[in-house]
Amino acid sequence: MIEIYMYVIVLFFVAYKEWIFLDSGTHFVMGIALGGLALVDPVVADHSMTFTAVMAGTIIGSQAPDVDTVLKLRNNAVYIRHHRGITHSLPAVALWPILITAVLALIIQDANVFHLWLWTFLAVALHVFVDIFNAYGTQALRPFSRRWVALGVINTFDPIIFTLHCLGILLWAFGANPVWTFSIMYLIIIVYYLLRFTVQKAVKNAVHKTIQDEEYVIVAPTMRFFHWRIAAKSKTHYYVGRAYGRTVNIYDKFEIKPLPKTPLIEIALKDRNLAAFVSFSPLYRWEISELDNGLTEVRLIDLRYRSDNRYPFVAVAHLNDDNEIITSYTGWIFTEDKLQKKLQVGASN
């Protein structure tokens, strides 16, 4: 049987680096927990090589759908358009376990292939299922629908869920029965999810009482249980705020103005960065300004991610007098200086 202490060492490394790999860290501990739960299967429990393969399969399977993260190395526009798209689709959920099982079966030849595939499939399916519950969501219904499924009740990184998994793995490392440990853990997490839905509904009702004429509301979770981000739209205005339980604070209110229908705007919206932004953001406002260097700036500002009085997720394009795009960028930027540096790099490429 694989020495569980090795996984605990890796686990703490991931936890330490959580500021970089928040989402991956959660899926990693989920893979370990599912590998422990697999010991409920007699074939896995009674055959050490099968257990070894299953543990590898659940860890790899819990990470596989996020392989599209490498798209970020290309550029943010491609990443925004495709992250959690085809790799989280129904065909992918079916294909990932087959591919992973085939590779592991070649490496660990004495493993039971069917049970290896079964638990790897559960790991992949759990990854995609869990991602549905955060605000980013997935295109899990592809190829039948390209609609993003995002229930928005769990933050991308939830410290309670992560901590429960860490605690369960530590208990296993010190001799606790993994089947009972992780079964109880998942029951607690199910109750936690139900509580999150209850709190989200209460927040939405509070937003309705505060704004009253809203047509569209996004209530997004944070890492704090009772703290929620709010972005709403009425017929005339956008509203941005925060909720603590049923107490709603609206920080910003913007009059809704349609984008001008001009050649400059039409060209700007065809830029890959702005087009990716528009495909991803359901609520945004715009700014058009003349720069000192004679260029015109078109800026789109996502209203869902207000942080420290700023809106860090933006798309910006600079155009000259001939309506040619000189530079553009989309992504999360927390200072204006950093944004300008990104645009200068884009202009030099």
Q: With bands split at pLDDT 50, 70 and 90, how would you rate the model's confidence at 296?
A: very high
Mean pLDDT of the chain: 86
Q: Are residues 14 and 124 in the same domain?
A: yes
Q: Does 204 fall in a domain? A: yes
> What pLDDT score does 88 carry?
85
Same domain, 27 and 127: yes
Q: Using the Cα atoms of residue 157, residue 159, residue 161 and residue 167 in order, give the sign of their dihedral.
A: positive
144 occurs within a structural domain: no
Q: Are residues 203 and 294 in the same domain?
A: no
177 is a domain residue: no
Q: Is the pLDDT of residue 22 over 60?
A: no
- Given a contact cutoff of 8 angstroms between Cβ atoms, the answer to whether 230 and 207 are in contact is yes
Whether 39 is in a domain gets the answer: yes
Residue 190 lies in a domain: no
| Percent of the chain residues past pLDDT 90, beyond the cut | 52
Over residues 136-154, the pLDDT tens digits come to: 778 888 888 888 788 889 9
Instruction: Please determine, for residue 9, whether its predicted confidence score (pLDDT) is greater than 50.
Output: no
For residue range 308-333, list pLDDT tens digits in order: 888 999 999 999 988 889 999 998 88
- In one-letter notation, the amino acid at residue 324 is E
Check whether residue 247 and residue 267 sit in a common domain. Answer: no
Interval 165-221: pLDDT, tens: 999 999 998 999 999 999 999 999 999 999 999 999 999 999 888 888 888 899 989
What pLDDT score does 14 carry? Answer: 46
pTM: 0.84
Residues 13 and 127 in one domain: yes
Higher confidence at residue 256 or residue 80? 256
Looking at this protein, which amino acid is placed at residue 346?
G
Q: Do residue 251 and residue 303 come from a single domain?
A: no
Domain assignment of residue 153, yes or no = no
Does residue 174 belong to any structural domain of this protein? no
pLDDT tens-digit profile of 65-102? 988 877 666 677 777 776 787 888 899 999 999 999 99
Dihedral angle at the C-alpha atoms of 143, 314, 257, 268, nearest 10 degrees? -80
In this predicted structure, what is the pLDDT of residue 349? 52
pLDDT of 288 reads 93
Residue where a domain stops, chosen among 207, 229, 255: 255
Residue 61: pLDDT over 70 = yes
Query: Do 267 and 234 have their domain in common?
Result: no
Same domain membership, residue 126 and residue 47: yes
In a domain, 155, yes or no: no
What lies within 8 Å, CB to CB, of 266 at 6+ separation is none
Residues 224 and 339 in one domain: no
Residue 129 pLDDT more than 80?
yes
Residues 326 and 296 in one domain: yes
Is there a single domain that holds both residue 238 and residue 268?
no
Number of domains in the chain: 3
Q: How far apart are CA 122 and CA 111, in angstroms?
A: 17
Same-domain pairing of 248 and 297: no
Look at residues 99, 114, 131 and tell me which one is the last residue of a structural domain.
Answer: 131
> Residue 306's domain spans which residues?
263-348
